[in-house]
Every structure is written in C-alpha cells, then in structure tokens.
Amino acid sequence: MKKTRIILSVLLAIYANTVFAQAENHNSQVARNLEIFDEIYKALDLYYVDTLAADTAIKWAIDGMLMKVDPFTAYYPSDDEELKQMATGKYGGIGSIIRFSKKHDRVVIDEPYQNTPSDRAGLKAGDILISIDGKDVKGMLPAKVTTMLRGESGTTFSLRFQRPGEKKPRTVRITRATIQTPSVPYYGMSDNRTGYILLTGFTDGAAREVRYALEQIRNQGGNKLILDLRNNPGGSITEAVDIVNLFVAKGQKVVYTKGKQSIANREYLTTTDPVDSVMPVIVIVNQNSASASEIVSGSLQDMDRAVIIGSRTYGKGLVQAIRDVPYRGQMKLTTARYYIPSGRCIQAHQYNHDGTIRTTPDSLTKVFHTRIGREVRDGGGIKPDIISEPDSLPTMIYDLIQSDPYFDWITRYAQKHSGISEAGSFTLSDADYSDFCQYIKDEKFTYNRRSDSAIKFLKEIARQEGYLEIAKTEMDSLEKRFAPDLDYDLRRHKSKIIPFIESEIVTRYYYQGGYVRQQLKSDKVYHEALQLISDRERFDDILKTRPASDTK
C-alpha cells in the first residue's frame, strides 16, 4: 500500500507539473502575441501613408479575430444598439421598414408598423424620403438612413417626403418612440378547433406573448395547436424554456448547457404548471429555424409532446453569453453547448478556427431516444417527424419581388383602391394581373436566369479547352433556348407570382398580421400540418415507439 501511495503521489506530481507547464506556456504565448500586435499597430499608426481612425482599425482586428472563432461571437462598441435590439426587440425610432429605390436613388418606406410613429404620422409604403431635419438623403443607403431615423424616444425631427402621384412634397414632424417588435405578429384560429401561432423571435417577453395567444385560442374553443417557428433565428434560452413549459408539466428538464468554465454549466427546468399539457401540438420548422427555435422543437420532440413537421433545422447547438468590455462595449461570446432532454447536442458545424467549417455527416451522428423510445439523432439540427418542403420557386420570381417595378405597381394599386376584402380572402383579378404584367414590361424589368448564366459559363469553358467551334451550333441553340423571355415567364409562373402580389397588397391595408393570414392561404406546409392535426389517429401513430428499422 505504501509503495502504491508513493507511485500515485509521483504520478500526481508529474501531472500537476505538466498542467502547470502547459498553462505557463499558454500564458507566455498570449503575452508574446499581444506584444507583437501592439508593435504592429504602433508601426501602422506611425508610418502608414494615411492616418487611420483608431476605433475603426482596431475594430477591424477584433472582427477579423472573432470571425475565425465562430459566426456567433461578436464585439459591440458602446454606441452600437444592435445587441440591445437583438435581446429585447426594442429600439428608439419611428417603426418602419425601409428599402432603397434605384429608380429614385433614394430610400422609400417599405412598411410602416401599425400604431407606431410612422403610422400615426400618415406615412405609407412607397413614400420617397427627401430629407431628415433638412439634410438631403439622396443616394444614402438604408443603413445610413436608419441611423438618422432612430434615436432617443421622445425626440422629434422633421421628415420631408414625396408621395408617388402627388406634385408637391409633404413635410411632417415625427416624435420617436420605443418600438417593440412583437415576437408573435399573428395568432388566430385555423378552423373551429385548431389554433395557429407564428413566433418570429425569442426576445424579452416572447413566452408571455405566446401564453397570451394560447389562452385566447383556448377561450375561442381551440383544442389543437400549430406553432410556426419557420425562419425564427432564436434568442433567449430562458424564453424558450418558458414556452416549452406552456405544454409540459412543472419540474421537467428542458435543456442543459456545458462549457469550459463551471459557471456555464446549468440545467433549465420548467417552473410552473402548464397552460395545456394534453392538446395535440404540431411545430413547423425549416432550415432557418435556429438556436432557441431548436430548443423548443427539439425538446417537445424528445418529450414526445409534439409532432415536428417541415425541413431540417439550422443546427445551432451553441450558447452565447454577454460580457462587458472596457469603455462600455460588450461582447457576445460562445460559452457552452446545449443539450436537449434526450441528451443530444444538435450542433451541425464544427468551426476549425482557421476559417474552415466541417459539417458532421449523417453517418457519423449518434442515436438517442425520446422518452417513449423513438430514435432521434444528434448533429445536423432537428430532423422533423414529417418532412415537408415548400414548392421550389424559379429564380426569376426572387428577382421580381425584390425589384422596384414590382414594389411600385403595388403602391399604385393601393392608391387606386381605398379598401379590399379581408386578409386571407383577398384575390387578385385576372385583369389586375394583366395590368401588372404590362407595367412590369413597360418598366423594362430585367432578371438573370441562372440557367442562361450557366450556359454562358459553359461556352467560356468550352472556348478555353478548344471545344467551342466543334459544339458551336449546339451551344448557340442551347443559349437561345434558355434566353430570358419575360412575357413567357410571367404567364408560365402566374400561379406562383400571384400569391406574392396578393400578400404584399394585403400588407398595405392590414399590416403584418394581414400579411401572415394571406400567406397561409397558399402555404403548402401549413396546410399539410392542418391536415395532419385533424387526423388524430395518424397524429397519435407518429408519437408511438417503432422498431429501429422503421425510423431510418
């Protein structure tokens, strides 16, 4: 025994010395490289041909370093309001989305939010901004104009703008206010028994908004729920836990985190009784559902509390914490990985800190099990129980709906019509679509068909390799075949273009909530979810244990 103790003591001493030496070497490396950076910046400041702003140059260095760490670690100077808005959903401003119009070389109002200073001042989508407090904004991009429109709540400024179709510009005084972007822009009844909630973020108060929407749905007789988390980038982990708590019993472990420092290790449990622990729930997700969205959908899946439908989620299994840095700056820093009830971490990408990213292939993911024994896997995000993808769209439509002619025609339509039918039932007439097509052609809308670009690229490769002359006839024929034909494409894609026009028009009259209601009218994945939740036998069958061979 004495000999064993001596050996153990020697081994522990060796281990301790090794750890100490490694720590000392690491600290030495840190000190050496900081000294090198200091000298490089001093030389740059003294000898570079132009004078550089210190704040800007150092920010370049910081951003460059953090960019190599992961996409979620970032530094925010004291005057940067972005982090605060991300966490709270609040900012001081007028409450409006803006966009840049190439036609006018100016920013225009894209969408004023309901009951905000922009809405109360009478601003409408399509209004062209001329000046802010007398300063001409011609040529300024949206980011610059946004900084001018935002400011302390209660401050006032003068806005001069031109409304399309009017001869004289208008001038209004607008008082900025604290704008709270809602986490739930819309909720309602899909049918007499099924409620629908769209959750777009996890900022402060998100769980409170979802609870209110859920209670209203139950009060209207709803006993089934579709929770839509598509395109939700996430946010607060505590808000996510509180939302899960609306559907599961008190004392359930929803998520736990593990990091380098013990302070990052934490378990998150439900703390209150649920609003409804038995109603059937479907959660819709897509590839842009990330972070807290994956905690909610993944936890409900692991607890067999909801059926998940849609496409595989983003795969962000990392947790960030906010740390203060000198001079009132802040740093959003990845401090831990999170794990949902089955024990899996759904992080899809490994950041190699050299700018490269390694994605975990499905073949290397591990099997975990839900509470009743259904197979689920780690890595690669949350795989839905039912895969449902939206119909693909031609690239021409993406170019169209982002164009000035598209936006301008809808502005003209809204000016001609004092009112339309309610959101969700509005239909664009064939005559109006014909007028839209003629306007788009008259405005000489152009678009880049990717197939046409690919053929031109192929011709260039053939020329470089000496095959162009041999295949010239075939290449010319192929290029002609795939050349953009606007009139043909507007007719061919009519059924896919019209829902976008209808939704944009509805937004002009019924704001964000109306837009969502109109969009659902043609939403393939939503209708599949609605059909599934109405089929209780099929719904219950999905949440049953299956042999491993049936879950692959």
Residues 81-101 pLDDT 10s:
788 788 788 899 999 999 999
pLDDT at residue 373 in the model: 95
| Range of weakest confidence among 114-128, 237-251, 340-354, 419-433 | 340-354
**Does the pLDDT value for residue 483 go beyond 90?**
no
pLDDT at residue 20 in the model: 58
Contact 509, 415 (CB under 8 A): no
pLDDT at residue 460 in the model: 84
**Does the pLDDT value for residue 78 go beyond 80?**
yes
Residue whose pair of structure tokens reads 């610059």 in the numeric block = 144
Burial of 225-257, coded b for 16+ CB within 10 Å and e otherwise, reads bbbbbbebbbbbbebbbbbbbbbbeeebebbbb
Residue 302 a catalytic site member: yes
176 inside domain: yes
Q: What is the mean pLDDT of the chain?
A: 92
C-alpha distances in Å from residue 54, one per residue of 65, 331, 469 = 17, 19, 57
**Does the pLDDT value for residue 552 go beyond 50?**
no
What are 262-269's contacts with CB under 8 Å, separation 24+? 264/319, 264/321, 264/335, 264/336, 265/336, 268/237, 268/238, 268/241, 269/241
Residue whose pair of structure tokens reads 């970032």 in the numeric block = 74
Residue 323's CB is within 10 A of a number of other CB atoms, namely 11
73 inside domain: no
Q: Domain check: are 299 and 353 in the same one?
A: yes
SS3 state at 63: helix
Contact 407, 97 (CB under 8 A): no
| Range of weakest confidence among 5-9, 104-108, 252-256, 505-509 | 5-9
85 inside domain: no
Instruction: Identify the CA nearest to 164 among candidates 124, 114, 105.
Output: 124
Element (H, E) at 267: strand 266-269
**Does the pLDDT value for residue 481 go beyond 80?**
no
| Range of weakest confidence among 48-57, 289-298, 331-340 | 48-57
**Does the pLDDT value for residue 550 go beyond 60?**
no
200 inside domain: yes
- Farthest CA pair distance, the chain: 100
End residue of a domain, out of 158, 180, 202: 180
**Mean local confidence (pLDDT), 303-328:** 96
pLDDT at residue 479 in the model: 75
SS3 state at 336: strand
pLDDT at residue 549 in the model: 44
pLDDT at residue 12 in the model: 59
Q: Domain check: are 253 and 343 in the same one?
A: yes
pLDDT at residue 459 in the model: 80
327 inside domain: no
Domain residue limits at 10: 2-52
**Mean local confidence (pLDDT), 257-269:** 96
Residue 338's CB is within 10 A of a number of other CB atoms, namely 26
Residue 541 a catalytic site member: no
Q: Domain check: are 346 and 444 in the same one?
A: no
Q: Domain check: are 137 and 243 in the same one?
A: no
**Does the pLDDT value for residue 240 go beyond 80?**
yes
Q: Domain check: are 41 and 114 in the same one?
A: no
Q: Domain check: are 141 and 206 in the same one?
A: no
Give the domain CATH number at 380: 3.90.226.10
Among 70, 228, 242, 302, the one annotated catalytic: 302
Q: Domain check: are 165 and 231 in the same one?
A: no
**Does the pLDDT value for residue 21 go beyond 60?**
no
| Range of weakest confidence among 8-12, 256-260, 472-476 | 8-12
Q: Domain check: are 241 and 176 in the same one?
A: no
**Does the pLDDT value for residue 122 go beyond 50?**
yes
| CA 27 – CA 24 distance, rounded (Å) | 5
**Does the pLDDT value for residue 365 go beyond 80?**
yes
**Does the pLDDT value for residue 309 go beyond 80?**
yes
**Mean local confidence (pLDDT), 166-186:** 96
Residue 403 a catalytic site member: no
Where residue 465 falls among pLDDT bands split at 50, 70, 90? confident
Q: Domain check: are 22 and 166 in the same one?
A: no
Contact 298, 346 (CB under 8 A): yes
Where residue 400 falls among pLDDT bands split at 50, 70, 90? very high
Structure tokens given for 328: 């009132």
| CA 307 – CA 192 distance, rounded (Å) | 20
149 inside domain: yes
**Does the pLDDT value for residue 10 go beyond 80?**
no
Among 291, 293, 299, 311, the one annotated catalytic: 291
How far is residue 374 CA from its own chain's centroid? 29
Instruction: Report how many domains make up the chain.
Output: 4
Decide: residue 215, CB within 10 A, 0-12 exposed, 13-18 middle, 19+ buried. middle
Give the domain CATH number at 156: 2.30.42.10
Q: What is the DSSP string of 209-233?
A: HHHHHHHHHHHTT--EEEEE-TT--
| Range of weakest confidence among 20-29, 216-225, 463-472 | 20-29
**Amino acid present at 265:** N
137 inside domain: yes
Q: Domain check: are 200 and 273 in the same one?
A: yes
| CA 167 – CA 280 distance, rounded (Å) | 56
pLDDT at residue 5 in the model: 62
Instruction: Identify the CA nearest to 245 among candidates 217, 273, 226, 223.
Output: 273
Q: Domain check: are 137 and 277 in the same one?
A: no
Among 224, 316, 332, 383, the one annotated catalytic: 316
477 inside domain: no
**Percentage of residues of the chain with pLDDT beyond 70:** 94
pLDDT at residue 8 in the model: 55
Looking at the chain, the number of H-run helices and the number of E-run strands are 17, 23
Give the contacts of 480 (CB within 8 A, at least 6 positions apart): none
**Amino acid present at 64:** G
**Does the pLDDT value for residue 360 go beyond 60?**
yes
Give the contacts of 128 (CB within 8 A, at least 6 positions apart): 101, 104, 106, 107, 108, 161, 162, 163, 164
pLDDT at residue 547 in the model: 52
**Mean local confidence (pLDDT), 473-482:** 78
**Does the pLDDT value for residue 245 go beyond 50?**
yes
End residue of a domain, out of 129, 148, 180: 180
| CA 174 – CA 109 distance, rounded (Å) | 14
**237 vs 23, higher pLDDT:** 237
pLDDT at residue 489 in the model: 93
State the alpha helices, DSSP H only, in 100-205: 117-120, 142-149
End residue of a domain, out of 180, 207, 225: 180
pLDDT at residue 314 in the model: 97
- Rounded to 5°, angle at Cα 304 from 302 and 305: 110
Q: Domain check: are 155 and 289 in the same one?
A: no
